[in-house]
Amino acid sequence: MFRSLLRMTSPFSTKSTWILLLVFCSLNSLLLGQDEEKPKKELPPVESHVLETKDGIFLNVKFYPGTKGKDSIPIIMLHSMLNVSSNSAVYTKLATAIQEHMGHAVIIPDLRGHGKSVQRRNPRDINDRIEIDREKFSKAEFASVVQDIEACKSFLRTKNDEGQLNLEKLTVVGSDITAIIAMNWAALDWNKPGKGLIRNGQDVKALILFTPLQSHKGLTPQLGLSHPTVKQNLNIMIIAGAQNPQYFSESKRIHNQLTRFHKDQTNADGTINWSGTKLFLFGLNTGAQGSGILQVAKPEPHPNALFYNFLINRLEKDETLQWSSRDPNAL
């Protein structure tokens, strides 16, 4: 274990090595559940819900409530739509670790056409249902997944107004195709009103992207990449498998389109500049891609540690992102 950690940190300075070593030792006991001496604290139970999107999809979701109330960061995790084996269940361990050891809230939807979200309301008969065939998805169907994200955000808005989380720190995780969709949805969210009596948008503050693609069936992330706030001000972390040159190069190209708006990821002493920049790229020692990276036995660096550092340094420590009610009737 220690030998692998030292190999992982070898590109950095000695100081960085020991810092990351300490982080990983604690994460090994905390996030991987190996500290059996301490009794596990009782967590709020995972909730199952069915949300209806504006275009009539019945969206099955799992919600992991946070434990910090108005300090809980809400995270929407979008599973892969390219690798059907990397479905929403791939996020279960990560969501549980984030809830238990960081106190943040996670919602994981079965995206339209996947898992249990395979029906939509018949617009000609509200009591009838139409089956969804994901194999026939076109560019338009993939693009419409933004409605799934909107449904999740509406659910989180209610939780925000109940004081269970802070929507001002909304974070979206995407994988391959859904990484494209997450970037584009962020632009749509920032085009909505963010001030005034009724606040509808400008909530998403961070994107975590597993192997974002350049395009899929004509769908590209250009809407997101060309939006001033998304490309300059959002916190963005890209994670990809470095041992697959084709997919890793796609992730690097997207990262390169954003670098001119951000400071360097690495400090002069080789440590990661977590508090000084908003853009990060990490290539892991695997050929796995998308959210499938979470199924790799011993990834280096470990995604849990990357999530931990990113969420703490980019969101938890940002005192400008204060909780506020989104209920116009409460004003």
What digits encode the pLDDT tens for the residues 84-136?
666 788 999 999 999 999 999 999 999 999 999 999 999 999 889 999 999 99
Structural domain span for residue 29: 1-35
Average model confidence (pLDDT) across the chain: 88
40 within domain boundaries? no
CB 81 within 8 A of CB 180: no
Q: Same domain for 167 and 143? A: yes
- How far is CA 71 from its chain centroid? 18
308 within domain boundaries? yes
Q: Same domain for 210 and 148? A: yes
**Does 23 have pLDDT greater than 60?**
no
DSSP state of 144: T
Q: Using 50, 70 and 90 to split pLDDT, how confident is the model at 137?
A: very high
327 within domain boundaries? no
Owner of token pair 């990060």: 280
Q: Same domain for 145 and 30? A: no
Q: Same domain for 126 and 202? A: yes
Task: Give the separation between CA 48 and CA 37, rounded to whole angstroms.
Answer: 31
Number of domains the chain is built from: 2
CATH code at 103?
3.40.50.1820
Q: Same domain for 88 and 220? A: yes
- How far is CA 32 from its chain centroid? 19
Query: What is the pTM assigned to this prediction?
Result: 0.88
Q: Same domain for 30 and 71? A: no
pLDDT at 86: 62
**Does 74 have pLDDT greater than 70?**
yes
With b for 16 or more beta-carbon neighbours within 10 A and e for fewer, the 311-324 pattern comes to bebbbbeeeebebe
Q: Same domain for 31 and 173? A: no
3-state secondary structure (DSSP) of residue 107:
strand
pLDDT at 26: 47
**Which residues, at least 6 apart from 214, have a Cβ–Cβ distance to it below 8 Å?**
220, 221, 250, 253, 254
Least confident of 109-118, 139-148, 191-200, 293-302: 191-200
Q: Same domain for 111 and 18? A: no
